[in-house]
Copies of this chain bind each other. A is one copy, B any other.
Amino acid sequence: MTASGHSPKRSAEKLADLTERLRRQSRKVTGPRQALLDLLRQQSHPLAIREIFAALPAGISDLATIYRSMHLLEQMRMVKRFDFGDGAARFELVPEGEDGHHHHLVCTRCSVVLEIEECFPEHVERSLAQTSGFQGITHRLEFFGLCPECQTTKSI
């Protein structure tokens, strides 16, 4: 498990390497995309579209552009989508060659995020596949709780 938001990214890829991945797929390296990728690579936890939009200097990009970029990057497997159960998709950069599969422990009050490296249900998917006949089984798993900080803070 790794603290997030403060700790360095597990495998910080250089911006140039990220844009190179774009070029390799005949996608264009534009201003908005560089700003977006540079923002993501400095984060070690998933960012919501809204957070990305707010973090980017005003006028650098547009909500529609960000949505379209995230769709593209997801399709290219450069980002992974996470869902914390509020109605907002979150995205995290995926190091080249990896699949980005991991889980999170999210504070239900302040939304701080810890990354969980271990993946527990993996061995279960095989038995599920056998008993159900489903193919290509994957899963989403997120943990929620009250972080130590919020335990000592008076309720709002």
How many copies of the chain does the oligomer comprise? 2
Q: Mark A124-136, 1 if CB is under 8 A from B, else 0.
A: 1100110111111
- A116 cross-chain contacts in B, Cβ below 8 A: 128
- A133 cross-chain contacts in B, Cβ below 8 A: 147-148, 151
CA distance in complex: A135, B148 (Å): 8
A137 touches B128 (CB 8 A): no
Chain A residues 95-152 with CB under 8 Å of chain B are 105, 107, 114, 116, 118, 120-121, 124-125, 128-129, 131-148, 151
CB of A1 within 8 Å of the partner chain? yes
Chain A's interface size range is: 20 to 34
CA distance in complex: A144, B132 (Å): 12
